[in-house]
Amino acid sequence: MEYRKVKDQDIESPDGRSLSSTAASSTLGDAGGLKGKHSWKQKSIVTVALTLLTSSQAILIVWSKRAGKYEYSVTTANFSVEALKCLLSLVALYRTWNSQGVTEDNRLSTSLDEVSVYPIPAVLYMVKNLLQYYIFAYVDAPAYQILKNLNIISTGVLYRIILKKKLSEIQWAAFILLCAGCTTAQLNPSSDHVLQTPLQGWMMAIVMALLSGFAGVYTEAIIKKRPSRNINVQNFWLYIFGMIFNLVAICVQDFDAVMNKGFFHGYSFITFLMILNHALSGIAVSMVMKYADNIVKVYSTSVAMLLTAIVSVFLFGFHLSLAFFLGSTVVSVSVYLHSVGKPQPQK
């Protein structure tokens, strides 16, 4: 039985999956069956949506902490997020069926061949989240926040290796800058701790970064494998497995509490807001995977981290450090370089 408050580290580096560990992917688009060539407009809209949802996520977490100290079960909240995403996908599908009729691409029924890979991202995230419990034996929470930026590098490397997509040399330079800039923006006087991380801590951090990067890249591969397939069907199956895995987590961790106190014990208005936000963020992540890629996702969540800090100055009176300004400058230059450094026409 483990009722926990939302963890501190969720505030500083939202990755769109802090509440719902297996909710790596989904989309609720009206354009399920577009072939490959998605418009610049579509890509921009989903990217901006992801950025705004991710930054408001962290702000909701801070707000919920200030509002009071209610406690709710994280596993039930995660399950609710998956269930809500499933529901939203079905609603979108229903509208598509009404307007376009049921086609090969938008029908819900699937083959074992198609659906067999869908649980893999959920399993990867589960392993990563298990490791998360052990890594705190070697590093403290602020150091873990810093180490999480290794995700940026691992995503870039796995994106290159698995999806075989080219980044230009300038885009690689931009990616290294993104990692350095995000880390710099998060520096605080105690950050040097991280340099004392023992080898086991480094190894685990690297393994976790690889698992997380692999899960993201693998989800993109699944979603893009059949470009004409309706994204809401793809999401539905991804979320079904998300629900199953979270149901197992509830049984293992919170079975007694849920039985004794009820499923929604400790939920407040803000908890529901957070669940809604996480569901929409999860769907935005999936849309970015369908219409853009993991690189755009990483940039989007990094910029969201900076936006969160700036908005927090006005909302909560936070102070920005010199390191934050320097890190933001480096991240901004990185975004610029990524856009001007597009590979030459050959791909």
Kindly list the distances between the CA atom of residue 103 and the CA atoms of 92, 99, 107, 131, in Å, as whole numbers in the listed order.
Answer: 15, 11, 6, 42
Q: Which stretch binds a copy of itself (CB under 8 A): 41-49, 107-115, 165-173, 306-314?
A: 165-173
Q: Which residues are registered as beta bridge partners of 72?
A: 4
Find the binder of a copy of itself among 60, 77, 187, 243 (CB under 8 A). 187
Q: Which is nearer to a copy of itself, 194 or 257 (CB)?
A: 194
Residue 234 makes CB contacts below 8 A (sequence gap 6+) with 25, 26, 27, 222, 223, 286, 290
Residue for token pair 């940039």: 299
Helix, strand or coil for residue 347?
A: coil
Answer yes or no whether residue 194 interacts with a copy of itself by CB under 8 A.
yes
Which of 13, 25 has the CB closer to a copy of itself?
13
Task: Find the binder of a copy of itself among 60, 146, 217, 243 (CB under 8 A).
Answer: 146
Q: Does 333 bind a copy of itself (CB under 8 A)?
A: yes
Minimal distance, residue 181 CB to a copy of itself, in Å:
8
Token pair listed for 296? 């755009």
Does residue number 195 form part of the binding site for a copy of itself (CB under 8 A)? yes
Q: Is 4 helix (H, G, I), strand (E, B) or coil?
A: strand
Of the candidates 54, 318, 13, the residue with the CA atom closest to the CA atom of residue 182:
13
Close Cβ partners of 1 (under 8 Å, ≥ 6 residues apart)? 253, 254, 255, 256, 257
Selected from 108, 115, 180, 207, the binder of a copy of itself by CB under 8 A is 180
Q: Which is nearer to a copy of itself, 180 or 247 (CB)?
A: 180
Minimum distance from residue 55 beta carbon to a copy of itself (Å): 22
CA–CA separation, 27 and 230 (whole Å): 9
**Can you tell me the distance from the alpha carbon of 176 to that of 166, in angstroms, rounded to the nearest whole number?**
15
* DSSP-assigned states of every residue in 160-206: HHHS-----HHHHHHHHHHHHHHHHHT--TTGGGGGG--HHHHHHHH
Nearer of residues 218 and 324 to a copy of itself, judged by Cβ: 324
Cβ at position 314, least distance to a copy of itself in Å:
17
223-262 residues near a copy of itself, rule: CB under 8 A:
none
344 contacts a copy of itself (rule: CB under 8 A): no
Query: For 272, how many CA atoms within 13 A lie in the half-sphere containing its CB?
Result: 5
For a copy of itself, the closer CB: 271 or 328: 328
Q: How far is CA 101 from CA 95, 108, 179, 227, 234, in A?
A: 9, 12, 46, 19, 18
126 forms part of the interface with a copy of itself (CB under 8 A): no
Q: Residue 101 or 189: which CB sits closer to a copy of itself? A: 189
- Helices vs. strands in the chain: H and E counts, helices first: 13, 0
Does residue 203 belong to the site contacting a copy of itself (CB under 8 A)? Answer: no
312/66 Cα distance (integer angstroms): 13
Q: Which of 94, 329, 342, 343 binds a copy of itself (CB under 8 A)?
A: 329
By CB under 8 A, how many residues form the interface with a copy of itself?
A: 29
Q: What residues from 269 to 328 belong to the interface with a copy of itself (CB under 8 A)?
A: 320-323, 326-327
Nearest residue (CB) to a copy of itself, 6 versus 330:
330
Residue 123 vs 326, nearer CB to a copy of itself: 326
Instruction: Return the number of the residue (63 or 138) whose C-beta is nearest a copy of itself.
Output: 138
* Binding positions for a copy of itself, rule: CB under 8 A: 146, 169-170, 173, 176-177, 180-181, 183-184, 187, 189, 191-192, 194-195, 320-323, 326-327, 329-330, 333, 336-337, 340-341
